Structures are given as C-alpha cells and as structure tokens.
Amino acid sequence: MAYEIPAPMLAKSVPEVPEPSSVAGGLSYEPKWDGFRALVSWDGTDVEIGSRGAKPLTRYFPELVEAFARLLPEPCLIDGEVVVAIGEPGAQRLDWESLSQRIHPAASRVALLAEQTPAMFIAFDLLARGERDLQPEPFATRRTELVDLIAGLPHPVHVTRTSDHPAVARRWLAEFEGAGLDGVVAKPLAQPYAPNKRTMFKIKHARTADVVALGYRIHKSGQGVGSLLVGLYTDDGRLMGVGGVSAWSNARRLSLIDELAPFVETDASGAAVTGETDRSRFSASKDVSFVRLRPERVLEVRYDQLEGYRFRHTVQFERWRPDRDPRSCTYEQLETVSAYDLGAVLD
C-alpha cells in the first residue's frame, strides 16, 4: 500500500488568537512548532518523508526513518513537523540552525549529524490510516484517530498538545517562545484536510514571510553584497520584486558573494547577467543595477507592513529556508491589515 503524499494544508496569518465562535464548528488550538513541515508515509515496508517544498526529506533524517519503521503500529500518512532540540533536560529549546544543517549533500555528514543532533517528529494531523483516507473527515475526527494511533509511542515520535480554550492559546503564545516555538495555530474543527489551502490560522510573535532571492547589489564600498533583492509569486505565476534585505556586517557581506555564486544567472559566455530596478525620485542619481540570481533560494524575513505590492520598509534577514519551494512563496502568506478610516484616528 503506497500513499500519495499531498501538498500540506496551510495557515494564514492573523494578528491575534481568534475566538472559537468566529468559525462554524469551533476551533482547536495548538503550539506552532518551528521546524520542517513533513508528511510521513509508512506503508508497512517503506518510509517516505515529504516536505512542503519539492525536496523530499527522507535522506536527511535517517534516524527518523528508522524510528517510524520501528514504532508506527500500522500503515499511515501523518502530517507534522521535524524539529531539533538542544540543551540539557529541563532547559531544552528548539534550534533552527542545527535543523537546517541537516540539509546536506554528503551522506556521511547527514549520518554524523543524525547522531550528534538527532531530530524528533511532532505529529498534528492524520491523513490516512490503513486503507482509510481520512482527508475528507473533519479535523476533530482526524485528531481523535491520530491520538488513538500514536499517542503512546516513545521518543522521537510525539503528538502535539491541543486545547479548545483561547485563553490557553494566548498563554502558550506568551510562554512557549522561550522554548523556541514561534506562535500558535488555530484549526477549524469541522473542516476536512485541504491540501495547499490556507484554511488554518497562525498567530506569530512577529510578522515574517518566506521570499525568493532575486538578485543582489554590490555594496557601496565595491566589496560584498550591499542588499539582497527579494520577491513573491502572484496568483498568475509572476515573480514580483517586493523589497530588499540589507544591514549585513562586513564579514557577512563578503561571505554572501561566495554563498550566492552558484545561483548567479549567466549568459552564453558565462558572464553574470545584470538588471536594473525601477527608479524613483529618491533613487534618480543612484546605481540601481543588480546581479540576477536564479529564483531557487528561499529566505525568511521579518517585515513591519505591506504597502501595495511591496514591503513598506527594508526587511530583516531571519534565516535561509532550504526546505521551502520557491513557488510556494506567494502573497497569500502575508498578513493583511483591515481598512480603517483616517477620520476616526484624527477625531
């Protein structure tokens, strides 16, 4: 029995924890784990770990492949998060850097890291059990089935906690950040699993977005990367520039040149392809040229607000996202602000 791994169901950002009454059928709240989204397929013989992007995660987490084959009691398809924790018992927290290092081309390096920084899996949804497809079932049913299937399994397989009380979710939002988690998710209890649809709600500690690296400008000193240009995909598949990332240290500016070199677009002669951004009255006398990058690298950035189709201010680099498919970086992920009458502010 081989399961077809679907695209994962997604969440849209909201500014605060929603009340259960805001959605028909109510809401279930759970911590938002900061790791690699993973859909785990176990058919009784083979384990496959699918990712949110196009890159399967199976080869990067051999310790989890072994654990799933050993522990899962029957064939199933589970949605969850792969995370890595560091620190001594009683003072552990999630560590993104250790997790991201696992995406490495050398099998020997992966094996070493699997021993030094072993991963664990946090399950939060069940899509299939045996020959039963659970995706059409409401989340309340899928959650019950998930708990029944794996709640008693030992480390490294865990089931995330949930609550139906928004006050508990708000407490988690405040407290769990200290353990490396990055917010809370609210899931409609009555809804079926909806691949690639943003039918859940996420409440994070800061506004962040996953964007695609489009190119870079050379620093005004003539050395290193001065700013990294980033973009998002529109509904019709166009990649739009949305802003830039800057404020690198001197050492980081120089290292980025080498880090981005494999992604530089080149012409038939092997020379780097350049472009120019649109000029404005603020950049009329500035050099607006940039080195083009193939749209293959994804990074997470922090931003304060969106104005039209662009970030209002320069955004801040948070981390690279090797687990993300560039095509999944769309405007839909961004938090939108409700319109408000300026007159009401001035009154």
Task: Identify the architecture of domain 14-204 in CATH.
Answer: 2-Layer Sandwich (3.30)
Closest to 300 (Cα-Cα) out of 14, 118, 97, 85: 97
Please state the rounded mean pLDDT for residues 12-29.
94
What is d(CA 104, CA 113) in angstroms, rounded to the nearest whole number?
10
pLDDT at residue number 208: 87
Q: Are 337 and 207 in contact (CB under 8 A)?
A: no
The boundaries of every CATH 2.40.50.140 domain in the chain are 208-333
Q: Which residues pair with 133 in a beta bridge?
A: 128
pLDDT at residue number 179: 87
pLDDT at residue number 281: 35
Please state the rounded mean pLDDT for residues 266-289.
69
Q: What is the pLDDT of residues 131-165, one digit of tens each?
A: 999 999 999 999 999 999 999 999 999 999 999 99
Reading the block at residue 177, the tokens are 């950040």
What is d(CA 341, CA 332) in angstroms, rounded to the nearest whole number?
24
CATH number of the 208-333 domain: 2.40.50.140
Q: Catalytic one among 12, 32, 204, 220?
A: 32
What is d(CA 101, CA 98) in angstroms, rounded to the nearest whole number?
5
Strand intervals (E) in the chain = 10-13, 27-31, 36-42, 47-51, 76-86, 93-94, 119-129, 132-133, 157-159, 183-188, 198-204, 208-218, 225-233, 239-245, 274-276, 289-292, 298-302, 306-307, 310-311, 316-320
Beta pairing, strands 47-51 & 27-31: unpaired
Whether the predicted pLDDT of 238 surpasses 60: yes
Whether the predicted pLDDT of 101 surpasses 80: yes
Q: Which residues pair with 290 in a beta bridge?
A: 275
Concerning whether 32 is annotated as a catalytic residue, the answer is yes
Q: Which residues pair with 211 in a beta bridge?
A: 299
Q: What is the pLDDT of residues 110-131, one digit of tens each?
A: 999 999 999 999 999 999 999 9
Alpha carbon separation from 41 to 7, 149, 301, 325 (Å, rounded): 13, 14, 31, 20
Question: Angle formed by the axes of helices 62-71 and 107-116, to 10°?
Answer: 60
Mark 109-137 as b/e (b = at least 16 C-beta within 10 Å). ebeebbeebbbbbbbbbbbbbeeeebbeb
Please state the rounded mean pLDDT for residues 68-80.
98
Q: Which residues pair with 227 in a beta bridge?
A: 217
Q: What's the burial of 168, exposed, middle or buried (CB within 10 Å: 0-12/13-18/19+)?
A: middle
Q: What is the mean pLDDT of the chain?
A: 89
By three-state DSSP, how is residue 346 classified?
A: helix
Beta pairing, strands 198-204 & 10-13: parallel
By three-state DSSP, how is residue 264 classified?
A: strand
The boundaries of every CATH 3.30.470.30 domain in the chain are 14-204
What is d(CA 30, CA 79) in angstroms, rounded to the nearest whole number?
14
Q: Are 64 and 128 in contact (CB under 8 A)?
A: no
Q: What is the pLDDT of residues 194-204, one digit of tens each?
A: 999 999 999 98
pLDDT at residue number 10: 94
Q: Are 47 and 41 in contact (CB under 8 A)?
A: yes
Q: Which pLDDT band holds residue 347 (cuts at 50, 70, 90)? A: very low
Alpha carbon separation from 136 to 94, 124, 125 (Å, rounded): 33, 16, 13
Reading the block at residue 136, the tokens are 């059409």
Q: Are 117 and 35 in contact (CB under 8 A)?
A: no
Q: What is the pLDDT of residues 177-221, one digit of tens each?
A: 888 888 899 999 999 999 999 999 999 877 889 999 999 999 988
Q: What is the pLDDT of residues 301-345, one digit of tens each?
A: 998 777 678 887 788 999 999 999 999 999 988 866 554 332 333
Reading the block at residue 144, the tokens are 């019950």
Q: How many residues does the chain have?
A: 347
Q: What is the pLDDT of residues 240-262, one digit of tens each?
A: 999 999 878 899 999 999 999 99
- For the chain, the C-alpha Rg in angstroms (whole number) is 22
